[in-house]
Each structure stands twice: as C-alpha cells, then as structure tokens.
Structure 1
Amino acid sequence: MYVVLLNYTAPIEEIDYALPDHAEWLNKQYEHGHFLASGRRNPRTGGVIITRPMSRGKLDAILASDPFCVKHLAKYEVIEFSPTKTAPELRQINEAVPH
C-alpha cells in the first residue's frame, strides 16, 4: 500500500482552476478500485491519497495522469508501507497485501 503526499507547486488560484479536472481523475481512480481515501491537507498545501496494494510502476503511471501532475501544479511524495495491523473494516484489504 502507499500513502501519497501531494505538495502544491503553484498558487492556490491555479490549483482551484484545475480542481474540477483533478476531482474527475480521483473519481476514475476510485471507480477502478485504486484508491481507498483522499483529501486536502490542513493547512491547504496539498493533498493525501491512500492507495490499495499495487506495483509501484502502476502507481507512478496513475499519478502521471493526474491533471495536477500534467499541468505541473504539484509534486508527489510516495511512501510505501506494509500494514501489519488494521481496523476490522480494513482486514480484507490487509489480507490482499502479499507478506
């Protein structure tokens, strides 16, 4: 699994202009089953995405298609982790992680 930290590299006005395209992109990733959670950082300097297990190459390709990336509005820090404990609601996801 991954935690992706988005850091805005453009003024918030440019982020707001591209936000509808980014939101549509997020919706597609949820439809494909790639993402588990996402949202804004507080203060509003970027965002956070928690993904399902996948290869790093696949994740990199997904992130490269984000309008924020295409328009050079954000940089991404990707943190890979292997969950060893999960809440009951996430046990099915944790079982899908190869150990």
Structure 2
Amino acid sequence: MHLVLLRFSDNKSEAGRFMEGHKQWLERGFDEGVFLVSGSIQPKQGGAILAHNVSLDDLQQRVSEDPFVAEGVVSEEIIEVSPSKTDERLAFLLS
C-alpha cells in the first residue's frame, strides 16, 4: 500500500490549466483498481491518494504521468506502508 502526497509548488497558479487532465488521470487510476481514496490536503495544500496492489516502480511511473506532476504544479512524495492490522472492512489491504 502506498500513500501519495501531491503538495502544491510555487507553480500552483497553473493548476486550472491542467485540472481536466489531472481529473482524467485520477479517474484512470480508480478505473484500473490502483487508487482506493483521493482527497485534498487541508487547508488547500494539495492532494493525497491511497494506492494499493501496485509496485513502487509502477506507481512512480503512474504518478509521473499526472499532468500536475509533469507540469510542476505539485511535488510528489510516495510513502510505502506495510499494514499489519486493519479494521475487518479493510482486511484486503493485508494481502
């Protein structure tokens, strides 16, 4: 499991130009079963994504294809998490 942090850079003002592509990129991640959750880092600092069932190398490649990353609107950080215990509703994360 990975936590992807996308923090706005000094180029944040360009976000509007690339928003549609970013939304399409997110949707593709959900459609392909890689992204489980996405949302905003408050207050208006960027976004976060919970990714599952993907290698670090593949996720790094995927993240580099986000228009926000490619155009320098955000900086990315990927944190690998090895879950050892979950609520039963999230047990699939242990596999």
TM-score for the superposition, normalised by structure 1: 0.87
Aligned to 1:66: 66
State the alpha-carbon separation in 1 of the partners of residues 70 and 36 from structure 2: 22
| Corresponding position of 1:39 | 39
* Equivalent residues, number: 94
* Deviation of the 1:93 alpha carbon: 2.7
Query: 2:63, 2:69 within 8 Å by CA — same for their partners in 1?
Result: yes
Q: Does structure 1 conserve the Cα–Cα contact (< 8 Å) formed by 2:38 and 2:47?
A: yes
Q: CA deviation at 1:53?
A: 3.0
Q: Say what the alpha-carbon RMSD is for the aligned residues.
A: 1.2
Relative to structure 2, which stretch is displaced further, 14-23 or 75-84? 14-23
Q: Which residue of 1 aligns with 2:4?
A: 4
Question: Could you tell me the percent identity over the aligned residues?
Answer: 32
Letter matched to residue 51 of structure 2: T
- The aligned amino acid for 1:16 is G
Shift of 1:29: 0.5
Instruction: Say whether 1:92 aligns with 2:73.
Output: no
Unaligned runs of 5+ in 1: none
TM-score by length of 2: 0.91
* Residue 17 (structure 1) shift: 2.8
Aligned residue in 1 for 2:30: 30
